[in-house]
A and B are shown apart, each in its own frame.
Chain A
Amino acid sequence: MIRFKGYRRPDGATGIRNHVLVIPSVVCANRVARGIAQQVSGATWIEHQHGCAQLGADAELTAQVLIAHGTHPNVFGAVVVGLGCETNRAQDIAAAIQAKCPYKSVSLVIIQDEGGSVKATAAGVTAARQMVTEASCQEREFVDASALILGTECGGSDACSGISANPALGAASDMLIDAGGSVILAETTELIGAEHLVAARAVSESVARRCYEAIERCEASATAMKVDMRGGQPTPGNIEGGLSSIEEKSLGCIYKAGTRPLQDVIEYAAPVTKKGLVWMDTPGHDIEQITGMVAGGCQLVVFTTGRGTPCGSPIAPTIKVATNTAMFEKMNDNMDLNAGTIISGDESVDEVGIRIFQEMLEVASGKLSKAEALGFNDFAIKRIGPTM
């Protein structure tokens, strides 16, 4: 049995962190949320541009993603901060988190009700200070690796991504699935041109059909802009790194999903309920993708990169795997593992895959990834409607 040390929640979920999270319900509350978290050791926070002047399903998606971060198993408790007049009411966000997780500490601060930002910050600090003390008393316990949901991501890809880091991450993905866990494949844009290979692994015709539907929606939204998507996908940096088309990028991308059957295709930020490989329909935008996967319940992310990136989630540790040794050395502050040894012939894909899997278990047990140690808390919600 493969195990790690995590936090067991009363509802059966498993966390790998015990964060106190400060959540602004609206962009206008960002500064207060940050001010609260920065005064309390052990608290982390979200910043975002949304929560007001949004309509219908778009407003609902923003609320869903924020609530999902509050209810996430990596979160011990949440302080929700509102302005007071926004579309996305802080009262509703806090109540929804408490309703789904009655065992969590949830506190509400509304800037207009408190009498301004200074008093609101003080109220939030008081609540968060109490929560971090309670959180610090909880102990990790041994948990089976099947409790893990891994989010896979490749960003700042280069031509080595499909040769080294992505195949190695694919080997690690297979190991987690064989241990009973779940793996998310995402970034639909970066599956254009490779969808037939993913669909061929679907467990049913309906899952295969949904692969093609996700790709058709994504490609139609690109063509509706009346331009060649090259430049946006692949990006100028991808092109400089040797990737010539979205098809080439995608064909390198899918290696990170390993070889096991595809169990399901789910919407952006929807909860991952199946074991095995699941495709979440997200944009290729790195931060919108991480945010969607974490909202779906993934506790940790393995992020392969050729050009190099420092980014990470506010609540889910992100392990960076460099595709080439030159970048691993140049951006070592931000890189956790090097898969460039596959290019140089010093290690096999499976050997690097085992190293990635071992690192996942260590990070799940509490080891800080570099993005965490440096405080990266990147967060972006996919928008599906106009700002009013």
Chain B
Amino acid sequence: MGKIKVIVMKSSDNVCTVVESIEAGSVIAVQDKGEQISITVSERIPFGHKFAIRPIQHGDSIIKYGEVIGVATREIAPGQHVHVHNLESRRGRGDK
């Protein structure tokens, strides 16, 4: 077992949090529902940021801690960075 690089908080999550910066093209082992899967990370993910561990469609809920943390504003493939550029908050939106 190598050093832990990502954490999936709950089994229903569709993103994981990286605990060590990951370079583009890295193949990362992720625990998903008790199984170890390999995901190729398509872009650099800084420490503390998230990438998708499952395909996420435009308009889908993004799940972390087993709860909704926002909505996808475009399609997100496994291994892609999930952050403010493709995740929109549903709360406190005075602009909408």
Do A and B actually bind?
A: yes
B1-49: which have CB < 8 Å to A? 4, 7, 9, 17, 19, 46-49
Closest residue of chain A to B87 (Cβ to Cβ) is: A244
How far apart are the CA atoms of A226 and B94 in the complex, in Å?
4
Q: Does B67 lie within 8 Å of A162, measured CB to CB? A: no
Q: A158-B48, A160-B19, A306-B48 are in contact. Are A194 and B67 (CB under 8 A)?
A: yes
Partner of A230, one of B19, B62, B69, B89: B89
A306-364: which have CB < 8 Å to B? 306, 324, 326, 343-345
How far apart are the CA atoms of A226 and B9 in the complex, in Å?
33
How far apart are the CA atoms of A343 and B84 in the complex, in Å?
24
How far apart are the CA atoms of A177 and B75 in the complex, in Å?
45
Q: A162-B65, A163-B7, A251-B69 are in contact. Are A244 and B82 (CB under 8 A)?
A: yes
Residues of B within 8 A of A247 (CB): 67-70, 89-91
How far apart are the CA atoms of A201 and B54 in the complex, in Å?
31
Q: Does A242 lie within 8 Å of B89, measured CB to CB? A: no
Q: A163-B7, A247-B70, A343-B19 are in contact. Are A228 and B49 (CB under 8 A)?
A: no
A222 within 8 A of B: yes
B83 within 8 A of A: yes
Residues of A within 8 A of B94 (CB): 222-229
Instruction: Classify chain B's interface size.
Output: 20 to 34
B42-96: which have CB < 8 Å to A? 46-50, 62, 64-65, 67-70, 82-84, 87-96
Residues of B within 8 A of A44 (CB): none
Q: Does A229 lie within 8 Å of B84, measured CB to CB? A: no
How far apart are the CA atoms of A233 and B68 in the complex, in Å?
17
Closest residue of chain B to A225 (Cβ to Cβ) is: B94
Q: How many CB-defined contacts (below 8 Å) exist between A and B?
A: 103
Partner of B91, one of A163, A224, A225, A245: A245
A142-170: which have CB < 8 Å to B? 158-160, 162-163
A204-240: which have CB < 8 Å to B? 219, 222-230, 233, 239
- A interface, over-half SS: loop
A252 within 8 A of B: yes
A230-273: which have CB < 8 Å to B? 230, 233, 239, 241-242, 244-248, 251-252
Q: Does B83 lie within 8 Å of A244, measured CB to CB? A: yes
**How many chain A residues touch the partner (CB < 8 A)?**
36
Q: Does A242 lie within 8 Å of B50, measured CB to CB? A: yes
Q: Does B48 lie within 8 Å of A242, measured CB to CB? A: yes
How far apart are the CA atoms of A79 and B89 in the complex, in Å?
47
A192 within 8 A of B: yes
How far apart are the CA atoms of A344 and B90 in the complex, in Å?
32
Q: A244-B84, A247-B89, A251-B64 are in contact. Are A345 and B4 (CB under 8 A)?
A: yes
A360-377: which have CB < 8 Å to B? none
How far apart are the CA atoms of A227 and B17 in the complex, in Å?
28
Residues of A within 8 A of B4 (CB): 345
How far apart are the CA atoms of A197 and B19 in the complex, in Å?
26
How far apart are the CA atoms of A244 and B92 in the complex, in Å?
14
A35 within 8 A of B: no
In addition to A163-B9, A242-B49, 6 A-B residue pairs with Cβ atoms within 8 Å of each other are A162-B65, A228-B93, A229-B92, A229-B93, A241-B48, A242-B17
Q: List 19 A-B contacts (CB under 8 A).
A: A159-B48, A193-B67, A219-B91, A228-B92, A229-B89, A229-B93, A230-B89, A233-B92, A244-B50, A244-B82, A244-B83, A244-B84, A245-B91, A247-B67, A247-B68, A247-B69, A248-B70, A326-B47, A343-B7
- The chain B residues found within 8 Å of chain A, CB to CB, are 4, 7, 9, 17, 19, 46-50, 62, 64-65, 67-70, 82-84, 87-96
**Nearest 3 Cβ contacts at the A-B interface:** A242-B48, A229-B92, A159-B48
